[in-house]
Amino acid sequence: MIGSEVVKWLERAILILVWLAIIPILFVVLFVTIEVQSSAKNIPNIDPRTSGYIIENLASVGDSLSSKLHEEQTYLRTLQTNETNTKAALNTDQADLIQSLLSIFSIMPGEMDANVCQSGSDQLVKCYNAAIRQAEAQMQKASPDQKAELFKDIQTCNRSYGKWIDENNNLMRTIAFENFPQEDIKALTEKITSLVGAKSDDPRSSVVHVYIALKEIVPGFRYIFIMPTGVIVALFTGVMGSIGAAVRSLFNMLNPVMKNEKITETSWQSFGVRPMLGALAGFIVYFVISAGASFLVQPTAADATTAVNNLSPSALASLGIFAGLAAEDALEWLIEKAKGFFSNTKT
């Protein structure tokens, strides 16, 4: 008794998982794949039969180039950050150097104009060289106290000047290095644009970007997308057949009197076995209808092969639902047609 209850709860858990997760996910993934494949086939100058492989290849190459582009952009941002920090340090060192020069000028009043030192880098270098020369000359005739003060100021000024020169050289190197990633970014951007397009209204660009987004969201979408459209539509027809069979079971459950049927099926039979039968019926219907593709082809079909590849997914999905709603009748019809075909073959 306990074992049977466990089995029932296990069956219910499986059915809940199937109908609340697996079937909806399959429906969305297959339907989106069909739509994206259809868009890919309509891209100018692309062979519809290999459009899936072409889009996948473009996306793969585009991903590789985009990864390199991201690395170069990150490197450039790092250099730009270094440039900003170096400029800040350079300004600080320049202020320290000017302050050191002002300290020397205070000991030698009237020797030099301190304002001249703040008019630019080149002038600051000239000002420094002149200040050091004059300070050293002044030491020869200065008193011992003045010599000690001048010597201290000269040492401080030399340290400030050395730091300022180092930061200035660092800034020049950083600005020079920025040219390399900028050129690489430009070249990579041009390659990506030539491959997948740049404009939002470019059909190739739109399909590639949608494919990349779906590949990141849906696990295994890459392998689904490159499958032939006929395989995807066949699977989609099977899914719709299972949905149709589930609708039939639900209808019977809610309206037993109207259908003049006595409910004897378990939940597992109604929503597990019957939908499986409906899926198989829909799957078989797809291949049967493919044999007579001229009745359901889209207007662009030009020959028999193209006709099969251009079967209307909506029409086939509808037939899948019909096959699921009346799975037993559909299979009986198929059995009768098969018997008739083989009996005619014998005669």
- Walk along the chain (347 residues) and give the pLDDT tens digit of each residue: 556 778 888 888 888 898 899 999 999 999 888 888 888 888 877 777 778 888 888 888 877 887 888 888 888 888 888 888 988 888 888 888 888 877 777 766 555 565 667 667 788 888 888 778 877 777 777 777 777 877 888 888 888 888 888 888 888 888 888 888 888 888 878 777 776 655 555 677 778 878 888 888 888 888 888 888 888 888 898 898 899 888 888 887 776 555 555 555 677 888 888 888 888 888 887 877 776 654 445 445 445 455 555 667 777 777 788 777 777 777 777 777 777 766 655 55
pLDDT of residue 301: 46
pLDDT of residue 299: 47
Indicate the pTM of the whole model. 0.60
The label of the residue with tokens 């600051």 reads 124
pLDDT of residue 277: 87
Q: 330, 322 in Cβ contact below 8 A?
A: yes
Q: 171, 86 in Cβ contact below 8 A?
A: yes
Measure the CA–CA gap between 6 and 192, rounded to whole angstroms. Answer: 57
Q: 48, 41 in Cβ contact below 8 A?
A: yes
pLDDT of residue 294: 46
Q: Is the dihedral of CA 297, 303, 306, 308 positive or negative?
A: positive
Q: 153, 100 in Cβ contact below 8 A?
A: yes
The label of the residue with tokens 């990633």 reads 181
The label of the residue with tokens 């590849």 reads 309
The torsion angles phi and psi of 288, rounded to 5 degrees, stand at: -65, -45
The torsion angles phi and psi of 263, rounded to 5 degrees, stand at: -75, 115
pLDDT of residue 230: 82
pLDDT of residue 24: 92
Measure the CA–CA gap between 63 and 60, rounded to whole angstroms. Answer: 5
Amino acid at 171: L
Amino acid at 52: G
